[in-house]
A and B are shown apart, each in its own frame.
Chain A
Amino acid sequence: MNVEGLDASILAPAFFAGLIVLMTHIPLGHEVLRRGIIFIDIAVAQIAGLGVIIAYTLGWQEHGVESQIAAVTSALLGAWILSSLEKKYGKHQEALIGTSFILASTGGILLLANNPHGGEHLKELLVGQILWVEWKQLVHAAIVSLSVLFVWARFRSKIGSLGFYLLFAIAITVSVQLVGVYLVFTSLIVPALATIGYSAKSWPGLSVLIGICGYASGLILSALLDLPSGAVIVWTIVVSALLIKLVIPSKAR
Chain B
Amino acid sequence: MRMLFRPGLFVGLVTLLCTYSGTTWAALSVFACEPEWAALVEELGGDRLEIYSATTAQQDPHQIQARPSLIAKARKADLLVCTGAELEIGWLPLLLRKAGNARIQVGQAGHFLAAEYTDMLEVPDKLDRSLGDIHASGNPHVHTDPRNILRVADPLTQRLKAVDPDHADDYQQRYQAFKAKWQDAIDDWSQRAAVVEGKNIVVHHDYWSYFTHWLGLNKVATLEPVVGVSPSTRHLAQVKQLLEKQPAVMIVDTSYMNDRPVMWLSEQTGLPVVTLPATVDYHGGETLLQWFERLVVRMLEPLK
- In the complex, are the beta carbons of A239 and B229 less than 8 A apart? no
CB<8 Å pairs between A and B, sample of 16: A5-B69, A5-B72, A7-B75, A10-B68, A10-B72, A114-B132, A116-B226, A117-B132, A117-B135, A131-B70, A131-B71, A132-B94, A217-B4, A219-B68, A222-B67, A228-B66
- In the complex, are the beta carbons of B67 and A131 less than 8 A apart? yes
B228: nearest chain-A partner, CB-CB: A116
Q: Which A87-141 residues sit within 8 Å CB-CB of chain B? A: 109, 112-121, 124, 129-132, 134
Q: A3-B16, A7-B72, A10-B72 are in contact. Are A116 and B66 (CB under 8 A)?
A: no
Which residues on B sit within 8 Å (CB–CB) of A129? 65-66
Which residues on A sit within 8 Å (CB–CB) of B75? 7, 10
- In the complex, are the beta carbons of A120 and B228 less than 8 A apart? yes
Q: Is A146 an interface residue (CB 8 A)?
A: no
Q: Is B73 an interface residue (CB 8 A)?
A: yes
- In the complex, are the beta carbons of A4 and B73 less than 8 A apart? yes
Count: A-B pairs, CB below 8 Å: 93
Contact of A121 among B16, B90, B129 (CB under 8 A): B90
Which residues on A sit within 8 Å (CB–CB) of B227? 116
Q: How far is the CA of A59 from the CA of B132 in the complex (A)?
A: 13
Q: Is B97 an interface residue (CB 8 A)?
A: yes
For the complex formed, measure the closest distance between the CB of A223 and the CB atoms of chain B, giving whole angstroms.
4
Q: A3-B13, A4-B73, A114-B132 are in contact. Are A119 and B66 (CB under 8 A)?
A: no
The secondary-structure label for the interface of chain A is: helix
Q: Is B283 an interface residue (CB 8 A)?
A: no
- In the complex, are the beta carbons of B71 and A116 less than 8 A apart? no
Which residues on B sit within 8 Å (CB–CB) of A45? none
Q: Is B259 an interface residue (CB 8 A)?
A: no
- In the complex, are the beta carbons of B67 and A226 less than 8 A apart? yes
- In the complex, are the beta carbons of A130 and B69 less than 8 A apart? no
Which of the listed residues A3, A121, A129, A239 has the most CB atoms from chain B within 10 Å of its own CB? A3
Q: How far is the CA of A217 from the CA of B129 in the complex (A)?
A: 44
B52: nearest chain-A partner, CB-CB: A4
The chain A residues found within 8 Å of chain B, CB to CB, are 2-7, 10-11, 59, 109, 112-121, 124, 129-132, 134, 217, 219, 222-223, 226-231, 239, 243
For the complex formed, measure the closest distance between the CB of A148 and the CB atoms of chain B, giving whole angstroms.
26
Which residues on A sit within 8 Å (CB–CB) of B188? none
Q: Give B64-84 as 1s and 0s: 1 = Cβ < 8 Å from A's Cβ atoms.
A: 011111111101000000000
- In the complex, are the beta carbons of A223 and B132 less than 8 A apart? no
Which residues on A sit within 8 Å (CB–CB) of B72? 4-5, 7, 10
- In the complex, are the beta carbons of A4 and B66 less than 8 A apart? no
- A-B pairs with lowest CB-CB distance, top 10: A5-B68, A131-B66, A228-B65, A223-B68, A5-B69, A114-B132, A4-B72, A116-B226, A129-B66, A115-B132
Q: Is B134 an interface residue (CB 8 A)?
A: yes
